[in-house]
Amino acid sequence: MAAPCRKMASRSYSQLLCCFSRTAVGSGACRRFSVTPIDRATPRASTAADRATSPWSLMAAVCLQRLPVITADCSPIEQRFKQMLQQMELEKSMLSDHELRLMEDAERMSRRQADDYDSDEDLGDQEIMMTQDLEDTWEQRLKNFQPAPRVRADVDEDLTSVQRCLTDSLVLLAEQQVGAEKLWLLPQAAWQEGETLRRTAERALDSMTAGVRATFLGNAPCGVYKYKLPKAARTESSVGVKVFFFKAILVDGTPGSAPTAPLLWLKKSELQKYLKPAYMMNVGRFILNL
């Protein structure tokens, strides 16, 4: 990775050095990440006179995603196409070094077995391992290797587990108290004076789940949802709430210590059952179903 470089200070702006690596499924179900933020400028505290008082209160929410760990299975037509392409590639390709050596060895064996064999023809140095033996040892080692199962039905059913549905990306939902009722929402927190919205989103994530490490993808929010308070609760200074969403990627698979609120990891298709329709419409626009 390149060493962090010095940058000129810029207002409320931070640069990321991200290194994402995707390797075979190990003990954790997540990719190994490393992030080094270079420049974290402190946000300017705006004086009370600057801000126009608005009746909307601000909140920031985090859309924490666990990326897919393994590739999805191919559909039947994709499988057939893949087979056809592999066949074509095999037929068009040239022989590799290993295959050439196999052919040479076979030729030498047949020459040795021939009746009019002249031992002087043979080269001075005999190889210890024939190429075919090498291939056999490799095949043996491959048979001994047991890959982890791709799909485990019991883990898939458990909605709170991070390791479910390794082929899809999952979103974190938390049950929160909003007004009088408990709703399933993306974890959110109210904005406080003197902090950036992204900082608020980080705080929301920390308060809902302790010890989960996440990388935020940028300072800009990816979506906004505003709702008005019910008529009974509306006052002069608070008409409604605007919620800004920030995207983040899960780095560490461990959920940490017991979370304060019940958490769920859901695919986009399952979100509909838990979110309110208007909220779902807004949130569904920036959650990608790739």
How far apart are the C-alpha atoms of 186 and 225, rounded to whole Å? 11
Contact between 84 and other proteins by CB under 8 A: the answer reads no
Given a contact cutoff of 8 angstroms between Cβ atoms, the answer to whether 170 and 159 are in contact is no
Is residue 96 a contact residue for other proteins (CB under 8 A)?
Answer: no
| 218 binds other proteins, rule: CB under 8 A | yes
Q: Cβ(245)–Cβ(224) under 8 Å? A: yes
d(CA 75, CA 149): 19
Out of 48, 68, 147, 200, point to the residue binding other proteins (CB under 8 A).
68
Choose which of 163, 169, 176, 209 interacts with other proteins (CB under 8 A). Answer: 169
Out of 60, 174, 241, 249, the only residue in the binding site for other proteins (CB under 8 A) is: 249
| 1 near other proteins, rule: CB under 8 A | yes
Question: Interface with other proteins includes 82 (CB under 8 A)?
Answer: no
Query: Toward other proteins, which CB reaches closer, 232 or 290?
Result: 290
DSSP letters spanning 62-126: EEEEEPPSSPPPPPHHHHHHHHHHHHHHHHHSPPPHHHHHHHHHHHHHHHHHSTT--GGGS-SPP
Outline where DSSP puts E strands in the chain. Answer: 16-21, 32-37, 56-66, 170-178, 181-185, 188-190, 214-216, 223-228, 240-250, 263-266
Q: Is 290 in the site for other proteins (CB under 8 A)?
A: yes
* Segment contacting other proteins by CB under 8 A, of 10-18, 48-56, 229-237, 272-280: 10-18
Query: Does residue number 210 form part of the binding site for other proteins (CB under 8 A)?
Result: no
Residues that bind other proteins (CB under 8 A): 1-3, 5, 7-8, 10-11, 13, 15-24, 38, 65, 67-68, 70-71, 169, 217-220, 222, 246-247, 249, 288, 290
